[in-house]
């Protein structure tokens, strides 16, 4: 699902979903009633957009391959996110595979979701960021030459760039523009 790229932006922030955009429940989140937009997310997305970033969700959704839910269920959660944030997200990529069921180069820590978005949206990897909550998110970003920030609780030294939530990460990314 992509919006038309109406601007000639060459930079984006890739966003992991669970634990970054919505509250991590510790279980698959596929029912819109269980999907809770994390505090500060609408503000963070609007801040990034104001500074010229495209917003691209990249999410592993192994529950699809496991038969626990469908792509339609994921898209219903995405619509709830879009509604809460003023329809500001430009694209959503999902990797429905799981190693126990099927092979997938899209599933993070592999980078096919990011590579597709980089090509399709004509993005400059050096001008992009990924905000995730797991080391596998960082690994996927690094494979494409995209810088990454981890959010949430992580042991010190887990990653060079760590912030407590998406809003803090967005403010930090904006402050680094032009460095």
Task: Kindly list the catalytic residues.
Answer: 16, 18
**Helix, strand, coil shares, percent, the chain, to 5:** 35, 15, 45
Dig out the tokens for 1 from the structure: 């699902």
The strand pairing partners of 54, in sequence order, are 12
Dig out the tokens for 134 from the structure: 């797991």
Q: Is 53 left (phi over 0), alpha (psi -120 to 50) or beta?
A: beta
The pairing of beta strand 91-95 with beta strand 54-60: parallel
Q: Are 15 and 57 in contact (CB under 8 A)?
A: yes
String of DSSP letters for 71-90: HHHHHHHHHHHHHHTTS---
């Amino acid at each position: 699902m992509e919006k038309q790229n109406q601007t000639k932006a060459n930079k984006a922030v890739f966003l992991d979903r669970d634990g970054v955009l919505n509250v991590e429940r510790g279980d698959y989140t596929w029912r819109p009633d269980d999907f809770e937009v994390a505090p500060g997310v609408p503000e963070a997305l609007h801040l990034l957009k104001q500074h010229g970033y495209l917003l691209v969700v990249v999410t592993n959704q192994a529950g699809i391959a496991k038969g626990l839910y469908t792509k339609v269920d994921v898209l219903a959660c995405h619509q709830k996110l879009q509604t809460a944030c003023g329809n500001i997200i430009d694209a959503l990529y999902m990797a429905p595979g799981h190693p126990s069921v099927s092979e997938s180069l899209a599933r993070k820590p592999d980078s096919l979701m990011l590579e597709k978005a980089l090509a399709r949206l004509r993005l400059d990897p050096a001008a992009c960021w990924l905000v995730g909550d797991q080391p596998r998110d960082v690994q996927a970003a690094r494979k494409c030459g995209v810088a990454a920030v981890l959010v949430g609780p992580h042991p010190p030294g887990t990653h060079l760039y760590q912030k407590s939530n998406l809003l803090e990460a967005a403010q930090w990314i904006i402050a680094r523009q032009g460095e």
